[in-house]
Amino acid sequence: MNLCKQLMGSMRVIYLERGVLVLCITEYSDGLKVAIKVLHLDLENTSKRFEVECNAMCNLRHRNLVKIISSYSNNLDFRSLVMEFMSNGSLDKWLFSDNYCLNFLQR
């Protein structure tokens, strides 16, 4: 059974931005928190974006990158990625937003 299909019933919406719906599972069977990105394929280039992100992230291993656990696509109108949930949000938010600042200990 596909991991995405198993988890779909226990998700809550975290945010929606640029055609990506991010859903979060608060607890996985072993205590791991995961985020599921579901792409809205009716928006321009989201199908291509999914392919690029999935191929790139599935093949990368680095301590500063989120691990992709699983992906799912029905090849029609539904595509999703299951990845580690990072409670502090995206690195982009911390580096490029004026609303977030790292203190000395966090740096």
The CATH architecture that domain 3-96 belongs to is 2-Layer Sandwich (3.30)
Task: Give the Cα-Cα-Cα angle 79, 81, 83 (nearest 5 degrees).
Answer: 170
* pLDDT, one tens digit for every residue, the chain (107 residues): 344 444 444 445 444 455 555 665 545 566 777 777 776 666 566 667 777 777 777 777 777 777 888 777 776 667 777 887 777 777 777 777 777 777 777 76
Q: Report in angstroms the alpha-carbon separations of 16 from 13, 78, 105.
A: 8, 16, 31
pLDDT of residue 15: 47
Q: By CB neighbour count within 10 A (0-12 exposed, 13-18 middle, 19+ buried), where does 48 fall?
A: exposed
